[in-house]
Amino acid sequence: MEEEEVDTLGNRIATASPSSDDVFVRGLPELPSEVLVTIFSFLDPMTLDGLSLVCKRWKMVINDNELWRENFIKLFGSKQFQSLTRSTQWRTELLMRKELAQRWIKGKGMYHTYAVKNGVITDIAADFRNDKLVLFSKNTGDLTITSLRSNKGESPITGVFPNGTTSCELSKNAMIFGRWDGKVYLKLLNQKNVYLNDSISLRESTHEGIVTVTKINKDSIAGKHGSVRAFSGDHRGRVIGWDLKNYQKVVDWPISNASITNIESNYQDCVIVRDQLGIIYIIDHNLKDSRGPMRPPRIIKTEKIDENATFSMQVDFGDENIVISYENKVRVYSYSQHKFGHFSELEVPEDDQIYRTVISQMNLQCCRKDDTLAGHDGLLCGTIFKSGKTVIWNVRSWEDQQPIPIIHVIVPKFQHYVYLNEDSPRVVSLDINSSVIIFGSHNSYCSLYDAVSGDFMRFVSRKLPRKILFHDQVLPVTEILLDKEDNFATNGVIIMGNIIQYFQFGEQKNYDKFKKKMARNSLKRAGIDDRKIKNRRHIKDDVEDFTFQQIQEQQKSELLDKYNGDSFEDEDEELSIAIALSESLKMKDKEEGNAEEDDELKRALELSRSQTAILSDEPVDDLRLDSEDHDLKYALDLSKRGTQLANIFPDGEGSSSRIESDLDNTSANDDELELALKLSLIEH
């Protein structure tokens, strides 16, 4: 250290400072690329697009995907995760994830807590877009449909279970039930939250025994004719696929000789079935058009598990993985062509047991894995242990016969947590999406963690109000559902017994709207204004309408030519049309013959009424008779009068001659009556 110069009085002597020409000063454009990326990561995409026009170097830095990837790994500590934006650009992934994290952490919380009237909820289906919540209790058979956010329009229905139900499955649009006698029933819920009370018996319900498992498409039950939207399996190893639009059987597969325990499907081209012996059957079949025979299933043999053990089977259809979890093991089996039958196992401590395993964002399981996306399109899974810790791992990142790599080990912290007893697990439920992990405790509290970095973000749930609790009871969080229909959503619902708590942080932003806005801004930068965009959209709509009208007219013309006999595709079609026309002509002739027979029957009934009226002394003038029946009427009238004369002049004096004359007339009238009756019978 250099000594300072001082004068005789001890004062420091000032030295001349170096000139500015001797000091090298760096400007902002000359900072290292890594520093620029760190600074740019705090800006929004629109500002970055503007900064890319400053100079070539800044444009290179802003568009360099590898630099943004390195910065992402530095901030979050992970390079394999579930993509939030489904984009290949690490810059977009980083900026959107940071913005979403800020809304989760600093967004104003909105809560709504309410209790429903049915018992303890065991099954739940939420439709966040249509604000609908469907709750079901297997203990009481009660179903409740209500508003997700406000509990308005609560519709409790009791006794939903059909008699003898052995299996059921709930979705936001319907419920499917299987019975002990092999019959399968469907109960529909329409879009207006109206419950249709009548059960629909699916046709040809021909299970030969007890229905042990049912499965229904949770996203949609609608589809074209012949598409499979639900499955049922029985204790004799038979699986039936159902078309819920026409309520009929589509596929019928004898899979195994043992009872079916699990069925999973993407309702497109694959069905995964597991039986009681632990054998997994992979069936490749077009479920959108199920005509044709079943291909021989591919088989993976796994361990047989005790019926009383806690067991779950979940499928990642995007990367063709099967996750099996039970008391002390978690295994991932591959059913892809190049790794079929290979498996990897999660390491479990000997003194610990598995409580629950949950795979993230179920609606992405049907999307094929895309390694080009930022994060390599991972799929996170969380395994809860009874000791209280939770292990987060990637379902799509493992090697054969090697332990599954662990991303995070989290011991969640909760507000005011109190141990009820040593046997109760600290964490009883969790849910994962592309951005966060939420944990539920045994005493109604929840906490939120970042899905990529594993850092704590905030406490989620609020203390339950006393007016809906019974003597300050402590309720575990039985189920948590995050809004997975929108990647940018920051809301969800917590289930505690029969109590529901809806939460939301900040304003909800839809990522689809964000992408449309970015596309519109790109067009603007290219010199295309809103008016041109609207004109293009109108032209496109007009072209589609014109094309549709042409197709309709062409189909109409082809039908007319076919029915007129002008054009046929082949001889079989011509023969079928001829048979149909012949049957139509026969039906027409038959209808005309039936009309003639009806006229004759009507005429006979009128004659019968006429005879009855004459014999009952009704005036003859009141009868409406045809001219050809006049003789018959006259003969009957004469016969009646003869009978009356015989009654008026009994045997006695002065009447013998008159009686004989009347008798002669009566016999003559009888002859005429007999002749008239014969003529009438011949005519009719």
* Under 8 Å between Cβ of 113 and 499: yes
Asked whether residue 172 falls in the same domain as residue 215, the answer is: yes
Distance between CA atoms of residues 84 and 62, nearest Å: 20
Structure tokens at 106: 């600093």
CATH code where residue 193 lies: 2.130.10.10
* Under 8 Å between Cβ of 124 and 133: yes
Average pLDDT over residues 455-475: 82
Distance between CA atoms of residues 200 and 175, nearest Å: 10
Does a structural domain hold residue 96?
no
Does a structural domain hold residue 658?
yes
Beta-sheet pairing, 499-505 with 390-394: unpaired
Does a structural domain hold residue 130?
no
Output phi, psi for 85, to 5 deg: -100, -10
Length of the chain: 684
Asked whether residue 227 falls in the same domain as residue 296, the answer is: yes
Structure tokens at 499: 């109590």
Asked whether residue 329 falls in the same domain as residue 295, the answer is: no
Q: What pLDDT shows up at residue 357?
A: 93
Q: Exposure of 408 by Cβ count < 10 A (0-12 exposed, 13-18 middle, 19+ buried)?
A: buried
Angle at 55 between CA 52 and CA 57, to 5 degrees: 85
- Name the domain count of the chain: 4
Asked whether residue 288 falls in the same domain as residue 170, the answer is: yes
Residue 175 has pLDDT above 80, yes or no: yes
* Under 8 Å between Cβ of 658 and 649: yes
* Under 8 Å between Cβ of 495 and 478: yes
Does a structural domain hold residue 524?
no
> Per-residue pLDDT tens for 472-511?
677 889 999 999 888 888 999 999 988 999 999 987 765 5
Q: How confident is the model at residue 367 (pLDDT cuts 50, 70, 90)?
A: confident
Q: What pLDDT shows up at residue 333?
A: 95
E strand or H helix that includes residue 145: strand 142-146
Residue 20 has pLDDT above 50, yes or no: no
Asked whether residue 298 falls in the same domain as residue 166, the answer is: yes
Asked whether residue 289 falls in the same domain as residue 180, the answer is: yes
Asked whether residue 173 falls in the same domain as residue 285, the answer is: yes
Q: What pLDDT shows up at residue 237?
A: 93
Asked whether residue 283 falls in the same domain as residue 374, the answer is: no
Least confident of 457-461, 533-537, 571-575, 659-663: 659-663
Ranked by mean pLDDT, the top range of 16-30, 238-252, 257-271, 403-417 is 257-271
> Per-residue pLDDT tens for 325-355?
988 889 999 999 899 999 999 988 888 889 9
Distance between CA atoms of residues 315 and 320, nearest Å: 7
- What one-letter code names the amino acid at 659? I
Please give the model's pTM, rounded to 2 decimal places.
0.69
Of 304, 331, 351, the residue that ends a domain is 304
Q: What is the largest CA-CA distance in the chain?
A: 194
What percent of the chain shows pLDDT beyond 70? 70
Residue 444 has pLDDT above 70, yes or no: yes
Does a structural domain hold residue 462?
no
Long-range pairs of 668-675 with CB within 8 A, sequence gap ≥ 24: 669/635, 669/638, 669/639, 669/642, 670/639, 670/642, 672/635, 672/638, 673/635, 673/636, 673/638, 673/639
Residue 556 has pLDDT above 50, yes or no: yes
Does a structural domain hold residue 597?
no
Q: What pLDDT shows up at residue 678?
A: 59
Average pLDDT over residues 644-656: 46
Q: Could you tell me if residue 460 is left (phi over 0), alpha (psi between -120 and 50 degrees) or otherwise beta?
A: alpha
> By residue range, what is the domain housing residue 649?
626-683
Output phi, psi for 534, to 5 deg: -65, -40
Asked whether residue 203 falls in the same domain as residue 274, the answer is: yes
Q: What pLDDT shows up at residue 369?
A: 85
Of 304, 327, 344, the residue that ends a domain is 304
Of 370, 404, 438, the residue that ends a domain is 404
Asked whether residue 168 falls in the same domain as residue 268, the answer is: yes
Asked whether residue 165 falls in the same domain as residue 299, the answer is: yes
More confident residue, 163 or 233: 233
- What one-letter code names the amino acid at 419? Y
Average pLDDT over residues 660-670: 53
E strand or H helix that includes residue 127: strand 123-127
Q: What pLDDT shows up at residue 455?
A: 92
Ranked by mean pLDDT, the top range of 80-94, 292-306, 313-327 is 313-327
If you ran DSSP here, which 8-state letter would residue 328 be given? Answer: T
Q: What pLDDT shows up at residue 300?
A: 92
Q: What pLDDT shows up at residue 611?
A: 56
Asked whether residue 237 falls in the same domain as residue 179, the answer is: yes
Q: How confident is the model at residue 23 (pLDDT cuts 50, 70, 90)?
A: very low
